[in-house]
A and B are shown apart, each in its own frame.
Chain A
Amino acid sequence: MIKCIACGMPMNAKEDFACGDITKNYCKFCMREDGSMQSYREKLNSMTEFIIKTQGIKEQPAREAAKSMMAKLPAWQNKIDDM
């Protein structure tokens, strides 16, 4: 199964891929409006907001969980945590 390198979401259908392009290794939720992949900072912010929206928890535990999850994903392996 192909998973998005930036958030880990499984990408089965064509529409799961960024721009519907199955050669891309990131998903539609991890792309910017111009089709490029979000930066670490953008993804950390959007992932934090996603956790808050889905569970209503406070920002700090949401951000820590987002950082922890992103640290395991291929796109962010060389990222130095500066946030």
Chain B
Amino acid sequence: MAESKRKIQKELTRKHILDTAIKKFGHNGFVKTRTLDIATAANISHGSLFAHFPTMDDLMTSAIEEFGNRLCTRLHDEVSKKQSLPDILQAHLNGILDFEDFYTHLIIERRLLPESAKNTYIVIQSTISFHIGLAAEKEIQQGKIKNMPLHMLFNAWMGMIHYYLSNGDLFQQNGSIIKAYGPELLANYLLFIKST
């Protein structure tokens, strides 16, 4: 009983550290954030943080994994409901919106991250592409959208999103880029890929 209580508490603390790390990385970026900043914001000792995440690399990688799990679970659920391609793309935008600051730092700083974090990023993007592909496949067969390779369908979509996010300061002084430009990006992307 006590053992199981301890296990639950440990899991809760781990989740609390991860949620705090996601906020701090979203606020200060990956490179500038220190483990001490995260421990202080989470209101735990520096030692306790290291007991859960022995290195900053572990913490960064776990935070990216946590983001990826939440986003990919949302897409998986949408695809399971046999949603259309626009629905899946909208779910993708909504998933990014929940972590917009974090995700923006992730794409801007990706090359500076440890290998394990970079590898996690690659796997997340492939999972997203796969789910977009599942929805696109039906619409390609129905002749609704152009028959293009999956990686181009995905990279073109990501190219638009990442351009707006990484240059966000040029598009919007304050507030969410995804909220302000998401509908325009989605509508125009659908026009680009529409069968003529």
- Using a CB–CB cutoff of 8 Å, the interface residues on chain A facing chain B are 1, 9-10, 12-13, 50-57, 61-62, 64-69
Contact = CB atoms under 8 A, between A and B. Distances in A.
Instruction: Report whether over half of chain A's contact residues are helix, strand or loop; otherwise say mixed.
Output: helix
B130 A68 contact: no
| 6 closest cross-chain pairs (CB), A and B | A56-B151, A68-B119, A54-B129, A65-B122, A65-B119, A54-B126
B39 interface: no
B125 A69 contact: no
B107 interface: no
B120 interface: yes
Contacts of B151: 52-56
25 contacts: A1-B73, A9-B76, A10-B73, A10-B76, A50-B126, A53-B151, A54-B125, A54-B126, A54-B129, A54-B130, A54-B133, A54-B154, A55-B129, A55-B151, A56-B149, A61-B122, A62-B122, A65-B118, A65-B122, A65-B123, A65-B126, A68-B119, A68-B120, A68-B123, A69-B120
B36 interface: no
Contacts of A52: 151
Interface residues of B, number: 21
A50 B130 contact: yes
A52 B122 CA distance: 10
A53 B126 CA distance: 9
Given A53-B151, A64-B115, A69 B80 contact: no
Nearest to B130: A54
Nearest to A69: B123
B122 A55 contact: yes
B44 interface: no
A62 B154 CA distance: 16
A68 B115 contact: yes
A51 B126 contact: yes
A54 B76 CA distance: 16
B152 interface: yes
B28 interface: no
Nearest to B123: A69
B155 interface: yes
A62 B129 CA distance: 14
A51 B151 CA distance: 9
